[in-house]
């Protein structure tokens, strides 16, 4: 049984990465894994200065905003799951939310049909960003070093510049057309053709980070940075307001956790679907696994896919922002419910839509997310996933402040109950509403073995994160 649990757990990758290879920095005082070597080195340096896992995670995340602009961010959001050295658990939801002027039908035309790309790029695709507020709250509650100390390395990277990796240079080249289309003028990233090894200097981003270092959340959600954001977005037809920024709050949430044998899985609750879905997958597999089912055989893959169909059906139909919809987490991960939910699985046939009540799939999430994992010498563990949604988010760049804005509004169900342009269904639980958080598949997860940290997990992949 233990080997089977490990086998399925390892379907979840350790972290997002440049060129698909996690970059880790190990030392006696802990370990940092992130998508970029410079960001990982920042986290390592914070641990060497005596900082804890929270300090290192925050510093690494700000560094990713500088060196990994396609997904690292100030203008996005995410989730963090953590385990404290005293054995306690917690999680923080700093997911973006819809602006107060968002409407249920804002992406539909006069005939009630979804307007292609309106929620995917440009000013109306932008949700209220949560990353900076998330980092502020993590530091306020659990940080050890000063706030200035954890932001300083990112400022140095933005001011001093860094050499573009082949992958980041390729990504900047690939999105030139969309940068021009959305911004309608020259921005930092369209100023020249980018090549591997080119030095990227980001003075505007450095200035914004200095404001954040000096003023905390007010350096981002109020004052000149807020002015830059709202003017840049709304001059192009957006709806983000100063009030949206001032009133944004990260939310401390209970983790979703359960034990399977000697393993305890600790993950994120809604509006992340990760914790519920991962536990449904793992528990269903362990309860129902046929004898002598060989890993990676056609029967094995069929069995896993049949479980996943039902898990994703529940995700699409029932999960959403818990401040707007009731999500009975304990029921969804209970053995009684899962036995009933999976009862129709047949190893010899594929389930049809009629076999699985509710939508089987939903709105596609973009795959361009980044993850970092940190553990310190005292056993504090942080699993943190953040995103702009698509590569470079909405493609709208706040030139005066030096960062891209997200396109997270695309993660809502633009037209519940009706297939979108991909032929996929969304549900009422994830319909657009003012100040509502959109459903996510980000799944920052910690696995303990006999009560001790064993894995710190997370990955990019959009709606495939859960099964990656």
Q: So which residues are the catalytic ones?
A: 369
Q: Which of 195, 201, 264 is nearest to 448 (CA)?
A: 264
Residues pairing with 26 in the sheet: 31
Tokens of 390: 């698509």
Q: How far apart are CA 419 and CA 232, in angstroms?
A: 32
Q: Which of 40, 139, 88, 93 is nearest to 378 (CA)?
A: 88
Residues pairing with 108 in the sheet: 114
Q: Beta strand pairing status for 263-267 and 256-260? A: antiparallel
Q: How far apart are CA 63 and CA 72, in angstroms?
A: 8
Please report, for residues 34, 51, 58, 234, 318, the alpha-carbon distance to residue 30 in angstroms, rounded to integers and kept in the order given. Answer: 14, 11, 15, 44, 39
Q: How far apart are CA 272 and CA 439, in angstroms?
A: 6
* CB-CB contact of 263 with 320 (8 Å): no
Q: Which of 374, 382, 386, 406 is nearest to 72 (CA)?
A: 386
Per residue, what are the HEC states of 218-231?
HHHHCHHHHHHHHH
**N- to C-terminal Cα distance for the chain?**
21
Q: How far apart are CA 455 and CA 187, in angstroms?
A: 41
337 φψ region: left (φ > 0), alpha (ψ -120 to 50), beta (else): alpha
């Amino acid at each position: 049984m233990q080997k089977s649990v490990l086998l399925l757990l390892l379907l979840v990758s350790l972290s997002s990465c440049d060129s698909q290879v996690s970059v880790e920095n190990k030392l006696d005082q802990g370990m940092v894994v992130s998508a970029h070597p410079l960001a990982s080195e920042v986290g390592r340096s914070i641990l060497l200065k005596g900082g804890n896992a929270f300090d290192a995670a925050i510093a690494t995340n700000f560094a990713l905003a500088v060196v990994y602009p396609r997904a690292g961010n100030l203008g996005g959001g995410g989730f963090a799951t953590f385990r404290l050295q005293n054995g306690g658990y917690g999680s923080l939801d700093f997911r973006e939310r819809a602006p107060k002027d968002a409407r249920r039908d804002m992406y539909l035309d006069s005939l009630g049909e979804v307007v292609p790309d309106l929620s995917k790029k440009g000013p109306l695709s932008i949700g209220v960003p949560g990353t900076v507020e998330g980092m502020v709250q993590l530091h306020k509650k659990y940080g050890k070093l000063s706030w200035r100390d954890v932001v300083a390395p990112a400022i140095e990277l933005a001011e001093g510049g860094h050499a573009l990796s082949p992958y980041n240079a390729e990504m900047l080249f690939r999105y030139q057309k969309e940068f021009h289309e959305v911004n309608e003028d020259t921005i930092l990233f369209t100023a020249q053709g980018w090549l591997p090894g080119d030095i990227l200097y980001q003075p505007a981003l450095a200035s914004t980070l200095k404001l954040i270092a000096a003023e905390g959340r007010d350096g981002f959600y109020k004052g000149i940075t807020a002015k830059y954001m709202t003017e840049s977005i709304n001059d192009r037809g957006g709806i983000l307001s100063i009030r949206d920024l001032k009133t944004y709050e990260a939310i401390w949430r209970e983790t979703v956790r359960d034990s399977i044998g000697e393993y305890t899985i600790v993950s994120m609750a809604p509006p992340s679907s990760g914790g519920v879905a991962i536990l449904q997958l793992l528990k269903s597999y362990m309860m129902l696994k046929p004898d002598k089912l060989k890993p990676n055989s056609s029967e094995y893959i069929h069995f896993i896919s049949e479980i996943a169909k039902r898990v994703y059906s529940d995700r699409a139909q029932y999960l959403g922002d818990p401040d707007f919809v009731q999500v009975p987490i304990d029921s969804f991960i209970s053995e009684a419910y899962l036995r009933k939910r999976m009862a129709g699985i047949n190893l010899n046939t594929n389930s049809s839509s009629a076999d699985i009540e509710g939508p089987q799939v939903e709105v596609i999430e973009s795959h361009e997310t980044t993850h970092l994992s940190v553990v310190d010498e005292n056993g504090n563990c942080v699993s943190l996933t953040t995103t702009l949604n698509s590569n470079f988010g909405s493609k709208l760049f706040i030139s005066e402040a030096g960062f891209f804005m997200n396109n997270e509004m695309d993660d809502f169900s633009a037209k519940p109950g009706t297939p979108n342009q991909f032929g996929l269904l969304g549900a009422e639980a994830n319909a657009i509403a003012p100040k509502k958080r959109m459903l996510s598949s980000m799944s920052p997860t910690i696995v303990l073995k006999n009560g001790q940290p064993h894995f710190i997990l997370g990955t990019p992949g959009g709606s495939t994160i859960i099964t990656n």
